[in-house]
Amino acid sequence: MRFKHLSLILFLFIIASKLSAADISGKIIDPQGKPIPFANVFIKGTSIGTTSNLDGNYSITLSPGHYELIYKTIGYKQVIKSVEVNITPQQIDVTLEPEIYELKEVSVSAGAEDPAFEIMRNAIKKRKHYLNQVSAYSCEVYIKALQRLKDAPKKFLGTNIDDIGQRFGLDSNRRGIIYLSESESKFNFQRPNKIHEEMISSKVSGRSNGFSFNQASDILINFYDNAIELAGISPRGLVSPLADNALFYYTYKLIGCSYENNQLINKIQVIPRRKNDPVFRGYIYIMEDSWRLHSTDLLLTHDAQIQLLDSLTIQQQFFPVKGEVWMPASQKLMFNGGLLGFKFAGNYIGVYKNYILEPKFEKGFFTGEVLNVSKESNKRDQNYWAQNRPIPLTSEEQHDYAKKDSIEVLRKSEPYLDSIDHKRNKFTPGKLFLGGYTYQNSFNKTSIIFSSILPSNLQFNTVEGVNLTLQASYRKVLENRKNFNITPELRYGFSNHHLNGNISFFYHYDPSKIGSMNLSIGTDVVDFNDKGSLAPLVNSYATLVNQTNYLKLYEKQFADFTLTQEVANGIQLSGSLAYVNRLPLINTNFYSFSSDSIKLFTANNPYYGYDNEPAFEKNQALTFTFSSTFSFGSEYITRPGGKFYMGSKWPKLNLLYRKGIQLLGSDVNYNFMSARIYDSGLRLGLWGNSAFSISAGKFLSAKHLYYMDYQHFKGNRMGVYAGSSTNIFRFLDYYAYSTSNQFLEGHFEHNFSGFFMNKIPLLRKLRLEEIAGANYLSSDKIKNYNECYIGIQRLMFRAEVGWAWQDGEKQEVGFRLSTSF
């Protein structure tokens, strides 16, 4: 009972404190009466504050007492207001005068360097000091994100954008806010790179049950780092104006100096030495004597080879938190860009307060979880946000919340969803042939998807002749992101008159632990090489045009069951049991577009030759496979809907064991083990990114097995290949070197991300990326096989020139094209 009374007293105390607090609000303008957006307002001597919105309005809630409020922003003189706060709200409008930056009286001779260089040298010397000045801290972060569509085509890939725009609340010209979100988080940091953030409140316009995607670590940029990594925007690191080697990339100009609290502030223009280097331009403000950052106003443009965006502006303001320690008070990222006819713009604003420096985090506090979004975070009502948001909403933002929240109920209603589905579900033969057809019931969260017939499901090979695959999938979304798919498939060969069919059931039963199960049963026509030799469409071209039937197939009647589950952070286990009846197939169709009737097709077996006999005798195989994947140091986000991996700076390790079991009529008896270590994204700053894969394996016993049980490799004999570039050999035969013994395989590729092309004026506008790589294979079938290649790529397309040799003797030189579609 005492505990209950204490809880009630605490509750009443909190309510009373809220009732006794008062709002200080107003507008921040310049001398011409124009609003000053994103100006900082904070209580002197604390790390508590707010920021003005786009219209210059601000609001802050204070308990009764005496305060000194500091109003400041980049380019304007600081103003300090003494305020007596009682329970009555007050309006305090503030006019900020433009800062006048005057050059110090210095004697400058002709040809002498700008005084900014000496200031920057001092600042660069202090870079490491300020980078490591605070080893750990925690703070509260408010983030507001807004993205708007400025223009869009009426149709895109056959989809009516007007219909989608109506659902997003856009106007008749397909313009307006497409995403508006606010969040509050508790952010914790410990050097060198440990982060844990907890989102305690979340609001998304038009989605009362939605959770914000805001993340403090995504927008916090530290210019004391040598290289600034902006994944997704810049393929390689950007050089900070304070980097140790910054003088090689930047020139500086002292615009002038001003005083703030008797402290001299130097305004320095940052100018790239070379237009197209990965660098910033704009202004930084350096405090005299301490040589620390006071604020930044920096810009990235297309000249810096950024992707997707046309420009990105980064504005930061710092304030003293304790003694000589200054921390970010606010940060704004403003951007605009365009892609495929869509033009967009937006901003992310972060406000930081209540810093705690050098907190003593408990052991085990930092795990792989970088962000936890609590289930209750989206339950805050309008009164909560009115009292807690540090940046008042603009009239446009208020209208967006009101409009989208009012139509949310309508958009979730069955009649509305049925009307949307009625338009979307309209069937045309063109959809089925070219893009696939989807029938959707949005209210019940179900859909039926029919895969397109062209180009991938109507093919030609020498075994089946023309073959047609029809595939459909029924999908149902359940609570908490659980879902299941039922996928039936039919395949018919018009030359060998074989009809194959199978059905699979997939159930994603535990999204938080990546738990899933899959059960498949039926018949199918499959490649001898389980890694996949070449795409069916490419094989159709090779067969009909080049009269080369590279693809080798057999038929299987099968039943298999697979279970996958994460057992600990970054450790995922998978086990499968399969029983297969394997049947040989022979060539039944020898047609090609070529008039050369002398050239013959090779037999349908992985050993080649022209004798059209079955490649093997009918056999059965019972196999068990166990796989474990270790993602060391894996980082992830926990949301109410599940767990989302963010990757790791360390490579992944996969261990695999497969056993052929001689039971239930099974003909196979073997044991195989392999290990693979790989990484697809090693960021090397200005030098770009690397990817690698190294694998090794051995059949511990091989008493009885067939060719399809061998260890295979992904080869290529065509001028075009598709798929990941770091697991494909450019010149290796598809089947000749598969092994039933042991192997060592390696792939490495580096993407220079325009490091060299960027320096060639005629080519830099193409934004090409240079690539170089190497492949290696050694087994009992082939010793010390090597490949190397160089090339260029743009988005999903690449062109390469490669060389292959074995034991020092050159085997082949060739040109390759590829796509990652």
Residue-wise pLDDT for 85-99, tens only, equals: 887 888 999 999 988
Residue-wise pLDDT for 51-77, tens only, equals: 888 889 998 888 888 888 999 888 898
Q: What is the pLDDT of residue 5?
A: 35
| Contacts with 360 (C-beta within 8 Å, 6 or more apart), sequence order | none
| Residue 6 in this model has a pLDDT that exceeds 50 | no
| Residue 316 in this model has a pLDDT that exceeds 50 | yes
Tokens describing residue 735? 């089947």
In the chain, CATH 2.60.40.10 sits at 18-95
Q: What is the pLDDT of residue 748?
A: 96
CA nearest to 498, candidates 536, 531, 460, 524: 524
Q: What is the pLDDT of residue 820?
A: 66
Determine the 3-state secondary structure of 416 from DSSP.
Answer: helix
Tokens describing residue 146? 């807004």
Maximum mean pLDDT: which of 387-401, 416-430, 756-770: 387-401
The more confident residue out of 163 and 320 is: 320
| Residue 109 in this model has a pLDDT that exceeds 70 | no
The more confident residue out of 74 and 13 is: 74
Whole-Å CA distances, 262 to 78, 258, 265, 362: 11, 9, 9, 41
CATH code for the part of the protein at 18-95: 2.60.40.10
Rg of the chain (C-alpha set) = 32
The more confident residue out of 378 and 467 is: 467
| Residue 754 in this model has a pLDDT that exceeds 60 | yes
User: Which of the four pLDDT bands, split at 50, 70 and 90, describes residue 726?
Assistant: confident
* Range 3-9 average pLDDT: 33
User: Which of the four pLDDT bands, split at 50, 70 and 90, describes residue 574?
Assistant: very high
**387/643 Cα distance (integer angstroms):** 31
Residue-wise pLDDT for 451-501, tens only, equals: 998 888 999 999 999 999 999 999 999 988 899 999 999 999 999 999 999
The count of residues in the chain is: 821
User: Which of the four pLDDT bands, split at 50, 70 and 90, describes residue 3?
Assistant: very low
Tokens describing residue 465? 């002749």
Q: pTM here? A: 0.83
- Per-residue three-class SS string for 176-203: EEEEEEEEEEEEEEECCCEEEEEEEEEE
In the block, residue with structure tokens 């060719």: 707
CB 796 within 8 A of CB 769: no
Whole-Å CA distances, 480 to 83, 146, 380, 516, 640: 49, 27, 20, 14, 7
* Range 555-564 average pLDDT: 98
Instruction: Label residue 208 exposed, middle or buried (CB < 10 Å: 0-12, 13-18, 19+).
Output: middle
Asked which of 45-54, 252-261, 675-684 is least confident by mean pLDDT, the reply is 45-54
* Range 15-44 average pLDDT: 77
Tell me the pLDDT of the chain averaged across its residues.
88
Asked which of 109-113, 656-660, 682-686 is least confident by mean pLDDT, the reply is 109-113
Q: What is the pLDDT of residue 276?
A: 85
**201/478 Cα distance (integer angstroms):** 25
* Range 22-38 average pLDDT: 88
Kindly give the pairing relationship between strand 250-260 and strand 458-461: unpaired
| Contacts with 506 (C-beta within 8 Å, 6 or more apart), sequence order | 484, 485, 486, 487, 516, 517, 518
The more confident residue out of 18 and 418 is: 418
Determine the 3-state secondary structure of 720 from DSSP.
Answer: strand
User: Which of the four pLDDT bands, split at 50, 70 and 90, describes residue 105?
Assistant: low
Q: What is the pLDDT of residue 684?
A: 82
| Residue 29 in this model has a pLDDT that exceeds 50 | yes
User: Which of the four pLDDT bands, split at 50, 70 and 90, describes residue 597?
Assistant: low
| Residue 608 in this model has a pLDDT that exceeds 90 | no
Q: What is the pLDDT of residue 9?
A: 29
Q: What is the pLDDT of residue 116?
A: 94
Asked if omega into 320 is within 30° of 0 (cis), the reply is no
To the nearest whole percent, how much of the chain has pLDDT over 90? 54
CA nearest to 49, candidates 447, 333, 352: 352
Q: What is the pLDDT of residue 644?
A: 84
To the nearest whole percent, how much of the chain has pLDDT over 70? 94
| Residue 107 in this model has a pLDDT that exceeds 70 | no
Q: What is the pLDDT of residue 633?
A: 85
CA nearest to 666, candidates 697, 628, 704: 704
| Residue 207 in this model has a pLDDT that exceeds 90 | no
User: Which of the four pLDDT bands, split at 50, 70 and 90, describes residue 581?
Assistant: very high
**434/458 Cα distance (integer angstroms):** 11
| Contacts with 175 (C-beta within 8 Å, 6 or more apart), sequence order | 148, 149, 150, 151, 152
* Torsion sign across C-alpha atoms 632, 637, 642, 644: negative
Tokens describing residue 20? 């006794």
Asked which of 9-23, 175-189, 612-626, 767-781 is least confident by mean pLDDT, the reply is 9-23
Asked which of 48-52, 146-150, 394-398 is least confident by mean pLDDT, the reply is 48-52
Asked which of 58-72, 87-101, 586-600, 697-711 is least confident by mean pLDDT, the reply is 586-600
